[in-house]
Structure 1
């Protein structure tokens, strides 16, 4: 008997990911799960230079700022709860030093621009359609940084808002990089603080917006935007709480591994998959703890491990263990 419904997936036909690929990942916390997998298997990748970004407007703002060469100044930051913050970015970058925050912001804006320009693949994971608008500036923020709620209005992006934001993101990317493949996906993490019904409405707007945008893109010659069904795999194939963490909201490691394997099947070349096996073997070897470190057998094991590392690094100089 089959106890799961399976999402039908097909191998991507062109511009597959290999160990020469340069990958940029932007978006919700789920993109960081995939980023950790790419890092473990030693792909060339950059994950969320500005921290987690939950909604498309936040990604649009930072991509636009990066490509326009924005320089962050005192006017772009504020002090709250003993730290300096910027509404464009995640609290990961917040700092007790104003100078350090500005330095990080302006350093990361250059990283993002360079990465957009050089990436062979850009993975964008959207988490929610709910956004917060700062009442004083009338700007949609990426993060509220625990500022009092009365300073914001809460809004739900319409499907048209989502489509428009995705179109601007892709137009910006293509203005400096026409060779990249852009992979959209919806995060399987549920934003239940917004409410159960509200979370479903939010995800529905994202899914509809992405597919409406991709439908428009398919009419364009040599379109390079795609969809990967992370959300659908979690909701349908893995629709059991044993695939969730204790909070019953975030996918656990088993679920992340499953979705990663399916992404691997769709987007990685067969050669890359073989290299991943070799990298995985080295990674497991490095984590191995011997009961007798001085034994001849263990010394031989370490020597074989070094040889595997050297072989991989001779083929792919960017790999570092």
Structure 2
């Protein structure tokens, strides 16, 4: 797809190759691009605590990881026959409190590893709307269907977004001074807040974020939100819910991201991996035929070639 564009991507940065390590945190863009990076076998860690929507939730996770502040019984609660944590997505919720805490701390260790070893950290902001639990006066990452009357809903100001991101960057720099940090804003609209409220939220995120973006300090911005809203800007690029970008839109964003951020020498490897992935996904008419057995042998040769150059890659 070729569109006329005035969106700038910039090229003055350390590109991604197969020696790079990535940590991706935040909203849905992480899953979309993370799936592509995973498909092409880049070394990446995605959202160990699940999707995190607002800057304060991401800041809190990074603070906990940097300080090695383990989760314990006081950090979980029981509701609707499952244990939950206000700092994590519901995908980590569990019927067993022991397993819940174990999962949370495993995710925390994974986050800590990613923070200290990543060459690139991608942080995606989804919303500036936050919920404060009245009982504790603390912001939560996820409400877990706790009754709304137990929360106060607040909109982070532009300055509050900036302050949170500055704190996040300082925490990352304290354990990984050389990491390249890529910020982006999710194109997924939070329409449950309302159309006007969603626009206010995205505006606060973008304005607050651009107070800290500075390529010379390895703080970059990738315009995923602008690509969807200003270049694609048509409901045919959305799923049936008219909120989430569809595969065509995700592929378009990936094309722009890879063109801007992936090193030229990585594309040949990506093509080889794509060939292997498609071969593995192939469903033969006759699995026992000599033709298919020969096909599988050739596939293993291709895998071995990739692994000889990049031992970390597994299929």
Q: What TM-score does the superposition give when structure 2 sets the normalisation length?
A: 0.97
Indicate if the aligned counterparts of 2:115 and 2:176 stay in contact, CA closer than 8 A.
yes
Deviation per CA, 1:239-274: give whole Å up to 9, x if none: 111110000000001110110111000000011111
Q: Is the 8 A contact 2:50 2:91 kept in 1?
A: yes
Cα pair 1:55 1:127 within 8 Å, conserved = yes
1:97 is the counterpart of 2:96: yes
Structure 1 residues 304 and 203: CA distance shift in structure 2, 3 A: same
Structure 2 Cα separation of the partners of residues 42 and 274 of structure 1: 13
Q: What is the match of residue 183 of structure 2?
A: 184
Structure 2 residue 112 is the aligned partner of structure 1 residue 113 = yes
CA contact (8 A) 2:14 2:180 kept: yes
What is the CA distance between 1:184 and its match in structure 2?
0.2
Over 3 Å counting, the alpha-carbon distance change for 1:4 and 1:143 in structure 2 is same
Conserved? CA contact 2:183–2:221, under 8 Å = yes
Task: Establish whether residue 199 from structure 1 lines up as the match of residue 198 from structure 2.
Answer: yes
1:7 to 1:230, Cα distance in 2 relative to 1, 3 A: farther
Instruction: Map residues 1-321 of structure 1 onto 2, 5 A cutoff.
Output: 4-10=3-9, 12-214=11-213, 217=214, 222-321=216-315
Which segment is superposed worse, 161-170 or 7-16?
7-16
Do the aligned partners of 1:5 and 1:236 also contact (CA within 8 Å) in 2? no
Give the paired residue count: 315
SS of corresponding position for 1:175: helix
Deviation at 1:189, TM superposition (A): 0.3
* Alpha-carbon offset, residue 11 of structure 1: 5.3
Contact 1:163 1:212 in 2 (8 A): yes
Q: Is the 8 A contact 2:75 2:85 kept in 1?
A: yes
Structure 1: how far apart are the matches of 2:50 and 2:223? Answer: 23
Q: TM-score, normalised by structure 1?
A: 0.95
Structure 1, unpaired ranges of 5+: none
Residues 11 and 265, structure 1, Cα contact 8 Å, conserved in 2: no
Distance in 1 separating the partners of 2:298 and 2:3: 41
- Structure 1 CA distance for aligned equivalents of residues 195 and 4 of structure 2: 23
Q: 1: CA distance between counterparts of 2:285 and 2:201?
A: 52
Does the CA-based 8 Å contact 2:212-2:219 persist in structure 1?
no
Q: Is the 8 A contact 1:11 1:267 kept in 2?
A: no
| SS of match in other structure, 2:254 | helix
Cα distance, 1:212 vs. partner?
A: 1.4
Q: Closer, same or farther in 2 for the Cα pair 1:126/1:299, shift >3 Å?
A: same
Shift of 1:3: 8.6
Distance in 2, matches of 1:311 and 1:70, equals 42
Q: Which segment drifts farther, 283-292 or 228-237?
A: 283-292
